[in-house]
């Protein structure tokens, strides 16, 4: 008897579900509560409005998703496709980020070079004005170095720039570099005080010539013919500028030449010192 009742109840539910597809939403709501299996779960609300059964109101139909863990073969294939696409896009993304970082560094470097040129131009022009008002190149050079020492010490104390850790022996080795550098600035200021700024820097354009000459004398380097050929227009240009310069002065000329000699001596001595340091402290590659 129970089996017959269950069969008839199931048949009635099936027939009710089939017929409810052709009803309006209002009629379907009434029909849902007219289902043989939901009479006890359709209490009236308000003015007798039928309420959907709890099973229908809270029901959720779970559709198979290929990205879920239990997606079966199709899920595994989809996961493999997504992983392959991610792996293929990772090198492209990394290359794009590296290219963007390279462009950013290039722009930053170019901006720093541009700012350096602008500040250098302003420094030379203002330095010329100061030397005209105060014709004491040694005093001005001392003030310039004292100002630089003050600001770099302040940066070290405020941890704005890492402080170098050198021994007294290392300080003793770089002391001649500091003295030669100071004398180079003294000679430059002497030249700026006697001749035009443009002529001073025209003469200072011969620094590559002194660099090659001192490298041959102290480092034993032999320049190539291309290097020697590139020096010809430099020397010729300085000679031509000296012959036609209105503000030509021998003190200004030789001061600029002495600045070339001292500055390039500093560079050659620095290179020699670094070479000696590599011999004393060899670099070991454990890899």
129 and 210, same structural domain? no
266 shares a domain with 175: yes
Question: What is the reported pLDDT for 218?
Answer: 87
On whether both 43 and 111 belong to a single domain, the answer is: no
- The total number of structural domains that make up the chain: 3
Same-domain status, 269 and 180: yes
Q: CB neighbours of 44 closer than 8 A, spacing ≥ 6? A: 50, 51
Q: Which of 133, 153, 181 is the last residue of a domain?
A: 133
Mind spelling out the 3-state secondary structure of the chain? CHHHHHHHHHHHHHHHHHHHCCCCHHHHHHHHHCCCCCHHHCCCECCCECCCCHHHHCCCCCCCCCCCCCCHHHHHHHHHHHHHHHHHHHHHHHHHHHHHHHHHHHHHHHHHHHHHHHHHHHHHHHHHHHHHHCCCHHHHHHHHHHHHHHHHHHHHHCCCCCCCCCCHHHHHHHHHHHHHHHHHHHHHHHHHHHCCHHHHHHHHHHHHHHHHHHHHHHHCCCCCHHHHHHHHHHHHHHHHHHHHCCCCCHHHHHHHHHHHHHHHHHHHHHHHHHHHHHHHCCCCCCC
Q: Above 70 in pLDDT, residue 154?
A: yes
The pTM (predicted TM-score) of the whole model is: 0.58
* 170 and 126 fall within a common domain: no
Does some domain include residue 10?
yes
What's the pLDDT band for 145 if we cut at 50, 70, 90? very high
Average pLDDT estimate for 107-128: 92
pLDDT tens-place string over residues 203-227? 999 999 999 999 998 888 889 999 9
Residue 224 sits in the same domain as residue 128: no
Same domain, 201 and 120: no
Are residues 126 and 189 both part of a single domain? no
**Are 181 and 252 found together in one domain?**
yes
| % of the chain at pLDDT higher than 70 | 63
Least confident range from 14-18, 92-96, 141-145, 266-270: namely 14-18
- Is 171 in the same domain as 128? no
Least confident window among 2-6, 104-108, 137-141: 2-6
* Residue 244: inside a domain: yes
Range of the domain at 42: 2-57
Amino acid 157: pLDDT: 92
pLDDT of residue 236: 92
Domain shared by 180 and 260, yes or no: yes
Q: 51: how many CB neighbours lie within 10 A of its CB?
A: 17
Confidence at 143, pLDDT banded by 50, 70, 90: very high
Among 181, 208, 204, 285, CA closest to 252: 204
Banded pLDDT at 171 (limits 50, 70, 90): confident
Q: What is the pLDDT of residues 32-53, one digit of tens each?
A: 444 444 444 444 444 444 544 4
């Amino acid at each position: 008897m129970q089996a017959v009742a269950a069969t008839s109840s199931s048949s009635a539910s099936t027939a009710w579900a089939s017929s409810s597809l052709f009803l309006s939403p209002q009629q379907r709501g009434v029909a849902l509560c007219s289902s043989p299996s939901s009479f006890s779960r359709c209490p009236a609300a308000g003015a007798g409005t039928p309420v959907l059964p709890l099973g229908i109101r809270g029901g959720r139909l779970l559709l198979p998703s290929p990205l879920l863990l239990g997606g079966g073969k199709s899920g595994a294939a989809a996961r493999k496709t997504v992983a392959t696409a991610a792996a293929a896009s990772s090198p492209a993304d990394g290359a794009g980020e590296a290219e963007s970082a390279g462009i950013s560094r290039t722009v930053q470097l170019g901006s720093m070079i541009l700012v350096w040129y602008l500040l250098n131009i302003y420094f030379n022009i203002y330095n010329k004005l100061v030397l005209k008002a105060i014709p004491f190149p040694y005093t001005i050079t001392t003030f310039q170095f004292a100002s630089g020492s003050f600001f770099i010490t302040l940066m070290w104390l405020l941890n704005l720039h890492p402080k170098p850790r050198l021994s007294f022996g290392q300080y003793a080795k770089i002391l001649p570099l500091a003295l030669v550098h100071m004398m180079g600035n003294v000679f430059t200021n002497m030249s700026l005080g006697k001749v035009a700024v443009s002529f001073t820097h025209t003469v200072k354009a011969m620094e590559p010539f002194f660099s090659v000459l001192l490298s041959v004398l102290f480092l034993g380097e032999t320049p190539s013919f291309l290097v020697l050929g590139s020096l010809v227009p430099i020397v010729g240009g300085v000679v031509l500028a000296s012959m036609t310069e209105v503000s030509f002065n021998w003190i200004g000329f030789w001061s600029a030449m002495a600045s070339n000699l001292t500055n390039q001596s500093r560079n050659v001595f620095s290179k020699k010192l670094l070479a000696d340091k590599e011999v004393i402290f060899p670099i070991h590659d454990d890899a």
